[in-house]
Structure 1
Amino acid sequence: MNRPLPRPALARPPSFSAREFRDALGMFATGVTIVTARNEDGSLVGLTASSFNSVSLAPPLVLWSLSRGASTMPTFANGAHYAINVLAADQKALAERFATRGIDRWAGVVHHPGTNGAPVLDGAAATFECFNRSRYEEGDHLIFVGEVEHCSHRAGVPPLLYHGGRFYTEHPL
């Protein structure tokens, strides 16, 4: 008779360094997004994120995560709405700009207000306008689950991809 193994109470300590973990994570190719919102005072915030994924079709849910130490955390943690802009292959410079600290990320960026006021970037391959449904604290990040209230996409537009610390675009096999 096979008995199930007892479930451990805690995970084992990692057998690898933080650098090894980052390098291994870098082997997973992802799309590139810019998550945008408005502060209570109406000012715009946005950041580049590759931690984006679908969760559910019914209801339509997506997730992304943000470092607890991010300067934009209060806006996203307390705000009701945000937009996730999936970047097109020709938006590499925009991805780099929104990943840079200490600059005006919005200078010259063409955008328009979405359904609930979150800025939607012109030229994105797809956009997901979300209600900030729930948040989960895990490790050094906060995981956001957004309920998609509006989405759009541009058919045939190649996405911007990120793999191993470099940007790519798609090439059919």
Structure 2
Amino acid sequence: MSEYKDVSPQRMREVMGSFCSGVTVVATQTEDGPVGFTCQSFTSLSLEPALITFNPSRTSTSWPRIREVGRFCVNILGGKHQELSGGFARSGADKFAGVAHEPTPLGNLRLVGALAWIDCTLHAEYDGGDHTIVVGQVQAMEAAQHIDPLLFYRGRYAALAAAIELAAS
């Protein structure tokens, strides 16, 4: 029975990894250049008003820079974007080197070829333990057709068909 009480960070990551999620890159343009990071803790929050939420780590060096701007674009990645996701998850490198991007209506950064993009202004922030709960108010958005999502499941990336096969086994 004691194994059910194990809520250690390692066990939490293992169990929560059973929830398949999409993968996003949150990005904007600052006075010092483009900034962005990979984030899988993203979801729709409200339809009226149109709100989304995501949860950057408190150790993120990118989120404080985006917060200062007060706006951002959530780019939902497609199944062929594993390398792009990995690049935006690293610290210290030029994450935008060789990455095609365009300005959104708010002046944020939309990654060319993303499955969808959601242009937001910062609505609110809340304490979330070792993460920050960010609420964004949606100002503009668009989705591509016929692109499968990039998924994260049990600690690894998966395309839609692969995730279905993995879950069936």
Is the structural similarity TM-score above 0.5?
yes
| Secondary structure, counterpart of 2:56 in structure 1 | strand
Aligned residue runs from structure 1 range 66-85, under 5 A: 66-85=56-75
Please report how far the alpha carbon of residue 166 of structure 1 lies from its aligned counterpart in structure 2 after TM superposition. Answer: 1.0
Structure 1 equivalent of residue 29 of structure 2: 38
Bigger mean CA deviation after superposition, 82-91 or 134-143 = 134-143
Q: Determine if contact 1:36/1:47 at 8 Å carries over to the other structure.
A: yes
TM-score (norm 2): 0.89
CA distance in 1, matches of 2:103, 2:51: 21
Aligned partner of 1:168 among 149, 158, 164: 158
Please report how far the alpha carbon of residue 38 of structure 1 lies from its aligned counterpart in structure 2 after TM superposition. Answer: 2.1
CA distance in 2, matches of 1:16, 1:33: 27
Aligned partner of 2:51 among 57, 61, 71: 61
Please report how far the alpha carbon of residue 15 of structure 1 lies from its aligned counterpart in structure 2 after TM superposition. Answer: 3.8
| Secondary structure, counterpart of 1:137 in structure 2 | strand
TM-score (norm 1): 0.87
Q: Determine if contact 1:65/1:144 at 8 Å carries over to the other structure.
A: yes
Aligned amino acid, residue 45 of structure 2: V
| 1:87-145: CA deviation from partner (whole Å, max 9, x where unpaired) | 01111110011011221111010000111111100000000000111111121111111
Structure 1 equivalent of residue 42 of structure 2: 52
Q: CA RMSD in A?
A: 1.5
Of Structure 1 and Structure 2, which has the larger fraction of its residues in helix? 2
Task: Give aligned-pair identity as a percent.
Answer: 33
Aligned amino acid, residue 21 of structure 2: T
Unaligned 5+ segments in structure 1 are 1-13
CA distance in 2, matches of 1:78, 1:111: 21
Bigger-Rg structure (1/2): 1
Where do 4+ consecutive residues of structure 1 move more than 4 Å? none
